[in-house]
Amino acid sequence: MKTMKLEGMTAKRKQGLRGSVAIVALALSLFGVSGVAKADGDVAAGPVAMRRLTQEQYRQIIADVFGPTVKLGGRFEPDVREAGLLAVGASQVSVTASGLEQYDSMARNIAAQVVDEQHRGLLIPCQPASATAPDDACAKQFLGKVGRLLFRRPLNDHELTAQVAAANAAAVKVKNFYSGLGLSLAGLMEAPQFLFRQEVVEPDPDNAGQYRLDAYSKATRLSFFLWNAAPDPELLAAAQSGDLNTQKGLNKQVDRMLASPRVEAGVRAFFTDMLGYDGFDTLAKDQTLYPKFTPKVLGDAQEQTLRTIVDHLLVQKADYRDLFTTHKTFLTPLLASIYRVPAVFPDGYQSTWIPYEYPKDAPQAGILTQASFVSLHSHPGRSSATIRGKALRQVLLCQKVPNPPGNVKFDIVQNTNDPNYKTARQRVKAHATQASCAGCHKIMDPVGLAFENFDTIGGFRTTENGADIDSSGELDGAKFTDVLGLGKAVHDNPAAASCIVNRVYEFGAGHQPTKPEAAWMAGDLQKAFVASGYKFPDLLKSVATSDVFYRATPLQTGALDTPTKLATDLNSQQETQK
Amino acid sequence: MIATSQINRRRVLRGMLGGGAVSLALPFLDCFLNTNGSALASGASLPLCYGTWFWGLGLNPGRWEPKTAGKITEFGPETQPLTPYMSKVNVYSGMKVILDGRPMITHYTGDWAVLTGTTPREERVTIPTIDTLIGDVIGTKSRFRSLEVASTGNPTHSYSRRSGNVLNPAETSPPALYARIFGSEFKDPNAADFTPDPTVMARQSVLSAVKEQRADLLKTLGASDRARLDEYFTSLRQIEQQLDLELQKPAPMAACSVPGKVEDVKLGTEIDSVIGNHKLFAGLLSHALACGQTNVINVTFNDATSSLRKAGSSMTHHVYSHEEPVDNALGYQPNVTWFYMQIMQGLATMLETLDGVKEGDHTLLDRTLLLATTDTGWAKIHGLDDYPMITAGGANGRMKTGIHVVAKGDPATRVGLTVQQALGVPVNSWGTDSMQTSKAFTEVLA
């Protein structure tokens, strides 16, 4: 690839490029279609995109800014999974009319609580001259302060002026200062600057020709990455002062944030996303067949795995790969009942969590044998070797399993009542009789069959329809005799470690990696993870303190008619450069 | 379409409000309605309505089509539940989704091809669905541009999107839908008194402040983000329009009545829950249409990869479709077909509910055009031939009904184009590549 330096151009030339489509062509010629900056060695950089707040992030921000007594109501737009992560999908979604209607309703509801008599004394830093008329100064003070927290940066003059004017106009119409202020606050919370995390790119003064996130965008990316929350005042202050743009200042903030208990929320958010726990929102099991699987169990199942992960990775600071083999976990009475393990609970209190360690000869070990995995990846009334095998490959090893083909006859795959096909192994073997199916099922079924000792809710069994279950199999050349062996095979599979490295970066950056980013991840980042002994906090720190994480490709800006036209122009540019 | 009233209500109200709350007793019926309630006083017809009614897993080929072409005299075994509405239904057989060499994404390719006119290349749809195209024509003057529901309890079981970035999420809870439509912000179009709410005007000011930021924001964004931001502002404009309407006394709708409050229900894919919730949704949506709250609805009976199941069974409809053998004596999969019968009964319930709303000599169904379709032909093989397509309702006399149209492997988009033209969408061609068509079924267009 050709390398060029911006500083090699004349000022006039640079000026001419600004604000025109030419900058797009320039960017493409400099950085290539994958956004690779080569101006100063092999520097990886990725695209930036607005990211819609997830439900949990929205909730967390409201709790952080207004306190836990302010309640949310209404529903959120469903988050969208892309490339395995909701965090990546958030970079590609917008807001529908019905979604905005809900945001509008929630925002007004929250704002009404903030300005009510119970909260206004605590949350509004001033009092109006009259409660029934506009008060410019007080509105400005409040909206400026709260706007900085909601927008993750100070409001610019235009924004603040508009919000104050809206508060005043509303106060006149409803003849109440606080109601007017509340409506303007609601406006802040339904504005795109709040609902989307917008990242602003600026030229990097230390590396000519390269671009980076500006300090507030950097603070925002860092904070959502480690805490799944908006920047706190200290981080915003570091952005404002410029400290965050120094390596020393960045390291200081990262150390502070990793030492904070709030990092647990970040780790939980990451694994909730990676493990696809949004699927629990609509997961149901047949209550006639599985009466134990109550809504409470749904919550307990997720919580068990998240507690296991947090304890293992953050408290014990243990090897990430041991999550697939660890005998340590946490149980509630309901889960113990499903797993049929003799755990002892103080006073039999139903909501009590206790730490529990499986005996060495127990058939369960690692998070793959927990209800959160085997129940999430099953049918409502029966297990599914194929779904479980596919999930393991895609979720934990980041391997892509193709979609099934069309126009395929399934005649040979008989139902569960057929006496010739009692077990799942016998049934899925039929896939091998169809050439178009066999290719993919060979990579899913031998892995998924290892879970057949667990029914659709995670209960342990040794037979199905009276026939013994054979849970042996093979994963990428590693043979095993049961699910414990599968856990060991996952532990030893290099894809498990590289997958978590990729997912962590993608979760923070909000996009699939460009080729140079992928190369950096597979190289430096992976090496650092291995050298740390596969310690997850070290992986977070490696990403959060890296240069790459905040480096960006320049925006495709310009005076174009429409985004569609820009996309067309970009495609033409790319074509001509091939 | 709603005709422009002789009285410019907005101007009157603005003049009378003077920034405060005033109770206005506008003349009921004398001014706005004709004598039998079937049309507005200006003589214009009541508004056209459109609905997509989606179900998953198709039907068994050869068992859903009427026996003969032309006038329907008898439905196939699986569409028997529609018999009471025989004269108000059209069936289109011999329709097809064409891949053009693209991958077959099971339970995805068919539904989006039929609803967008383009066979997707990947699991990402970037083209608006037919309901949004129609809504842009007939839905701009109602409180909600459209209402989406899913009887399966899953908000992502929606088959409506404005673009690849915007899936219109489905309401899953009938009580929540009730609150959304008939809650505190509902203005009864037949109420004698009308009190514009000054808070609504205040909210308009606030949204204006949000909108003012658009130009500044666009300057800082890349191309794809600009498109997404524009989608956001499109949504914002719809909220503004909603507020606008809240400041006007709505045109009286003679058949409008507020339904009884809906109690908490059980959500999920167990078939009895789905049937029960669908019935509640059908009722609420019919009331919403009759009250002019929306002119476009999207109903999902069950998802494309049908997760319907019977209580106590370990099998879902989808699993049955692949694993249940064809009964040699019957010639079909009995359990799969049992679910089909429940689904078609669900469609019949939807039609019964719409047809039960009397508007003069006609019914709500008569001014509606409902497109019922699915994700596949024969689910057992993920087939894309023999694609079931059904329409119901006469679109205010713009559609002839009671007809079985027999095609010979035509792109299923012909039905979508016909529906759009019947509802006044100015389009003479729809779809792309082999799914592109400019041939509406003129035999059903009045």
**In-domain check, residue A372:** yes
**In-domain check, residue A224:** no
Residue A342 sits in the same domain as residue A399? yes
Tell me the backbone φ, ψ of residue A419, rounded to 5 degrees.
-65, -15
pLDDT for residue A358 is more than 80 = yes
pLDDT digits (tens, 9 = 90+) for B19-30: 333 333 332 222
Task: Give the single-character DSSP code of A535.
Answer: B
Q: Which amino acid is at B420?
A: Q
Half-sphere exposure of A308 (CA within 13 A, CB side): 31
Q: How confident is the model at residue B163 (pLDDT cuts 50, 70, 90)?
A: confident
ipTM above 0.85, yes or no: no
pLDDT digits (tens, 9 = 90+) for A336-355: 999 988 888 877 666 689 99
Region label for B395, one of left (φ > 0), alpha (ψ between -120 and 50) or beta (otherwise): left
Among B106, B144, B236, the residue with its CB nearest the CB of A406 is: B106
Residue A465 sits in the same domain as residue A563? no
B316/A408 touch (CB, cutoff 8 Å), yes or no: no
Residue A367 sits in the same domain as residue A337? yes
pLDDT for residue A511 is more than 70 = yes
**In-domain check, residue A58:** yes
If you search the block for the tokens 């976990």, which residue do you land on?
A329
Instruction: Report which of B304, B286, B54 is spatially closest to residue B177, judged by C-alpha positions.
Output: B286
Tell me the backbone φ, ψ of residue A65, rounded to 5 degrees.
-80, -40
Residue B264: other Cβ atoms inside 10 A: 8
Could you tell me if B387 lies within 8 Å of chain A, comparing CB atoms? no
B231/A95 touch (CB, cutoff 8 Å), yes or no: yes
pLDDT of residue A408: 58
Q: Residues 257..286 of B with a Cβ closer than 8 Å to A: which?
A: 268-270
Q: What is the mean pLDDT of residues B70-76?
A: 97
Residue A557 sits in the same domain as residue A547? no
Residue A364 sits in the same domain as residue A509? no
DSSP codes of every residue in B313-341: -S-BHHHHHHHSPPBTTTTB-HHHHHHHH
3-state secondary structure at position A328: strand
Structure tokens at A465: 């329809």
**Residue A455: domain span:** 292-301+329-492
pLDDT digits (tens, 9 = 90+) for B293-332: 999 999 999 999 999 999 888 889 998 998 888 999 999 9
pLDDT of residue A471: 84
Rounded to whole angstroms, how far apart are CA atoms B214 and B229? 8
Q: Which residues, 6 or more positions from B80, have their beta carbon under 8 angstroms from its beta carbon?
A: B344
pLDDT of residue A292: 85
Where do the domains of chain B lie, and which CATH numbers do they carry? 48-193+256-444 (3.40.720)
Structure tokens at A28: 């493409």
Rounded to whole angstroms, how far apart are CA atoms A181 and A186? 9
For chain A, the domain total comes to 4
Q: How confident is the model at residue A66 (pLDDT cuts 50, 70, 90)?
A: very high
**In-domain check, residue A280:** no
Residue A193 sits in the same domain as residue A102? yes
Q: How confident is the model at residue A3 (pLDDT cuts 50, 70, 90)?
A: very low
Q: Are A264 and A314 in contact (CB under 8 A)?
A: yes
Percent helix, strand, coil in chain B (nearest 5)?
35, 15, 45
Residue B424: other Cβ atoms inside 10 A: 15
pLDDT for residue A157 is more than 90 = yes
Rounded to whole angstroms, how far apart are CA atoms A258 and A510? 20
pLDDT for residue B35 is more than 90 = no
Sign of torsion, CA B70 B72 B73 B78? positive
Rounded to whole angstroms, how far apart are CA atoms B304 and B374? 7
Could you tell me if B42 lies within 8 Å of chain A, comparing CB atoms? no
Characterize the bridge pairing of strands A467-468 and A473-475: unpaired
**In-domain check, residue A180:** yes
Could you tell me if B213 lies within 8 Å of chain A, comparing CB atoms? yes
Residue A561 sits in the same domain as residue A526? no
Rounded to whole angstroms, how far apart are CA atoms A146 and B157? 37
Q: Chain A closest CA to B375's CA: distance in Å?
A: 12
Residue A361 sits in the same domain as residue A400? yes
Counted residue by residue, chain B has a size of 446
Residue A5 sits in the same domain as residue A134? no
**In-domain check, residue A570:** yes
Q: Are A188 and A149 in contact (CB under 8 A)?
A: no
Residue A64 sits in the same domain as residue A164? yes
Q: Which helix (H) or strand (E) holds A52?
A: strand A51-52
Residue A92 sits in the same domain as residue A15? no
Instruction: Report which of A405, A303, A284 is spatially closest to residue A354, judged by C-alpha positions.
Output: A303
A98/B326 touch (CB, cutoff 8 Å), yes or no: no
Rounded to whole angstroms, how far apart are CA atoms A160 and A179? 18
**In-domain check, residue A205:** no
Which residue among A492, A517, A535 closes a domain? Answer: A492
Structure tokens at B38: 């079937």
pLDDT of residue A287: 77
Q: Which residues, 6 or more positions from A506, have their beta carbon under 8 angstroms from its beta carbon?
A: A83, A84, A85, A87, A88, A512, A513
pLDDT of residue A28: 30
Q: Chain B closest CA to A357's CA: distance in Å?
A: 32
Q: What is the mean pLDDT of residues B54-59?
A: 97
pLDDT for residue A11 is more than 50 = no
Helix axes A215-227, A536-544, angle to 10 degrees: 170
Q: Are B369 and B393 in contact (CB under 8 A)?
A: yes
Rounded to whole angstroms, how far apart are CA atoms A374 and A378? 6
Q: Are B399 and B82 in contact (CB under 8 A)?
A: no
**In-domain check, residue A239:** no
Q: Are A314 and A273 in contact (CB under 8 A)?
A: no
Q: How confident is the model at residue A33 (pLDDT cuts 50, 70, 90)?
A: very low
Tell me the backbone φ, ψ of residue B250, rounded to 5 degrees.
-65, 150
Q: What is the mean pLDDT of residues B57-79?
A: 96
pLDDT digits (tens, 9 = 90+) for A532-547: 999 999 999 999 999 9
Q: What is the mean pLDDT of residues B204-219?
A: 90
Residue A472 sits in the same domain as residue A356? yes
